[in-house]
Structure 1
Amino acid sequence: MTITQLRVFVQIAETGSFTKAGQALNMTQPAVSHAISALESELGIKLIIRERRNGVRLTDTGGKILVHIREVLKGIEKAEQLAAAERGLEQGTIHIGTFPAASAYFIPKLISMFKKRYPKLELVLHEGTVNEVKEWLRSRVIDVGITLFPTEDMEYLPLKKDKMAVVLRNDHPLCSCESITLKDLDRQPMIICDGGYESPFIDMFKEAGSVLTAAFTVYNVNTSISMIK
């Protein structure tokens, strides 16, 4: 079992294609196929299934093994980074998972800081919903993720604490209130921004004994503001 074989397997799993995996690793398709065949032969099991209609998919066992192989490769990468640091060279790749709103707020500053301090470090961004970021963390797709609330089964570091706000038209009855609770929003027709962080709000409404009623669902925050106006 070689590092190349493991990297080929992960690339195929992530791209869903032998061709794309080869392009990402600068390998020919026959070389990619040979690497997978050798890996499957050594393990004595089938990892990948090729289908005419659906392309490439992992077997059930292949999916389970993928998590461990990612962990092995990250361990190798950490070792390479430590060796590089010992030589006075900070290098390597850091995969960061984030949702759209956090991307706009945190990522530009983060990239700017990293490029100045660690010019040889590469940052790879994975953008999705909060739940996807958590799943990427569990499956070792990313090294670090930005989410909304602390998760008990993961280590976390608070980045920012902010207040919750609801946006209303000037003529809305609730505008005269000094503060608004989730109870006040029970069954109120709302414009929900499905921009990657919707699930925590649904859970918050349930805990408050309120019903979150989505009259419209949009993906972009600016769209929701325009619709409210």
Structure 2
Amino acid sequence: MTLKQLRYLICIADNGLNISSAAEKLFTSQPGISKQLKYLEAELGMQLFKRKGKSLTSITSAGFEIIERARNILRESENIKNLAGDLSDEEEGKLSIATTHTQARYILPDVIKNFVKKYPKVDLELHQGTSEQIAELVNTHQVDFAMATGATKYFPSLKILPIFNWNRIILAPKNHPITKLPLNLDSLASFPLVTYIFSLTGDSSFKESFQKKGLNPRVVFTARDADIIKTYVRIGMGVGVVASMTFEIGDSKDLAALDASDLFPEVTTWIGFPKDMVLRSYMTKFINMLSPIYNKHLIKKIISCDDQISIDNLISKIDFPVYRFSSKENRVDLV
């Protein structure tokens, strides 16, 4: 049994049991993967997949257990590499991050730019998706870091570190009727709305805020991308509700922005890493670049924490910065 065989096994499972897709992702051949899978099953003396002809149709009960153990083995293999890399003072490797479009577009560019300058030999992978998609990447051990807002219940396997808080703003074409009304949930609900895609579970502080007032707003368009939301606000499809840090100077040319911090609860963006992962020095530096609050000393304490409650207690007295929109100055600041 080899690590390569276990890697092939996991990739087959993560690609819908499609060996061709697995081969493409692993930059190898389909016959090569099929051959190694047969070798592995022969060594174990059992089938890991049910078959119909040459196609794999499902994972056997034994296969599920072996795949889970294989994930743990590969994670420990990566931990050994990480540890060896740090002990030899090598500043090269790979860092994979799963995050939302908002973080990838508005928060991470400057951080990644500075990180690449300091660690030119570290290869970066950036995956974008919804909270559910990010959780899937985490659960299948395809990424090192996850960065998202709220939805922490999807990530029980991670150590989660708050980075900053933010509020929402309202966007509308200039001279739109909403700009002339007192801004509250009642006035907002009287217009068609354009906002982010909702969680598949239905959890949403946006929805809950209206429900508490007995309001049922008409959401006519949703998107993951704040830039797309702005586009459809501009063509008059509805009033936009977006994260405050997505407002840019150029937006003020044709859009009016209104502070909605009194309408919706403040939310927290966080970064997380697997509880069993050994962090390379460049990984801890990335966290520090993202939030200088997390220095080496604090990160070391966090790593030693056994559970999330201990981490939360450790950082409970920290005042994390907030992205605030100033209506007076028509700009967003991190304060």
Where on the TM-score scale, by shorter chain, does this alignment land: which range?
0.7 to 0.9
Distance 1:136-1:45 versus aligned 2 partners, 3 A rule:
same
Distance 1:123-1:60 versus aligned 2 partners, 3 A rule:
farther
Residue 218 (structure 2) aligns with: 213
Instruction: Report 1:1-229 matches (<5 A).
Output: 1-16=1-16, 17-25=18-26, 27-49=28-50, 56=56, 58-59=58-59, 61=61, 62=63, 65-149=66-150, 151-152=152-153, 153=156, 154-177=158-181, 179-181=183-185, 183-186=186-189, 188-194=191-197, 200=204, 201-206=206-211, 209-218=214-223, 220-228=228-236
Deviation track 1:15-55 (CA, whole Å, cap 9, x = no partner) reads 454345345545443331121112233444433456689x6
- Which structure shows the bigger proportion of residues in strand conformation? 2
Distance 1:204-1:139 versus aligned 2 partners, 3 A rule:
farther
Q: Which amino acid aligns with 1:168?
A: A
Q: Which amino acid aligns with 1:210?
A: L
Greater RCO, 1 or 2 (C-alpha within 8 Å, sep 6+) = 2
Unaligned runs of 5+ in 1: none
Alpha-carbon separation, structure 1, partners of 2:136 and 2:216 = 27
Name the stretch that deviates more: 126-135 or 150-159. Answer: 150-159
Q: Which amino acid aligns with 2:96?
A: H
**Is residue 50–residue 60 contact of structure 2 (8 Å, CA) maintained in 1?**
no
Unaligned runs of 5+ in 2: 237-254, 256-335
TM-score under structure 2 length normalisation: 0.56
Q: Which amino acid aligns with 2:159?
A: E
Q: Which amino acid aligns with 2:168?
A: M
Q: Which amino acid aligns with 2:194?
A: I
Aligned-residue CA RMSD (Å): 3.4
**Is residue 23–residue 30 contact of structure 2 (8 Å, CA) maintained in 1?**
yes
SS in 1 for 2:149: coil
**Is residue 129–residue 195 contact of structure 1 (8 Å, CA) maintained in 2?**
no
Distance 1:20-1:130 versus aligned 2 partners, 3 A rule:
closer
**Is residue 97–residue 142 contact of structure 1 (8 Å, CA) maintained in 2?**
yes
Alpha-carbon separation, structure 1, partners of 2:214 and 2:70 = 43
Alpha-carbon separation, structure 2, partners of 1:204 and 1:135 = 28
Alpha-carbon separation, structure 2, partners of 1:51 and 1:205 = 51
Distance 1:158-1:42 versus aligned 2 partners, 3 A rule:
same
Q: Which amino acid aligns with 1:73?
A: L
Name the stretch that deviates more: 194-203 or 170-179. Answer: 194-203
**Is residue 134–residue 146 contact of structure 2 (8 Å, CA) maintained in 1?**
yes
Deviation at 1:218, TM superposition (A): 4.6
Name the stretch that deviates more: 129-138 or 25-34. Answer: 25-34
SS in 1 for 2:194: strand
**Is residue 47–residue 60 contact of structure 2 (8 Å, CA) maintained in 1?**
no
TM-score under structure 1 length normalisation: 0.77
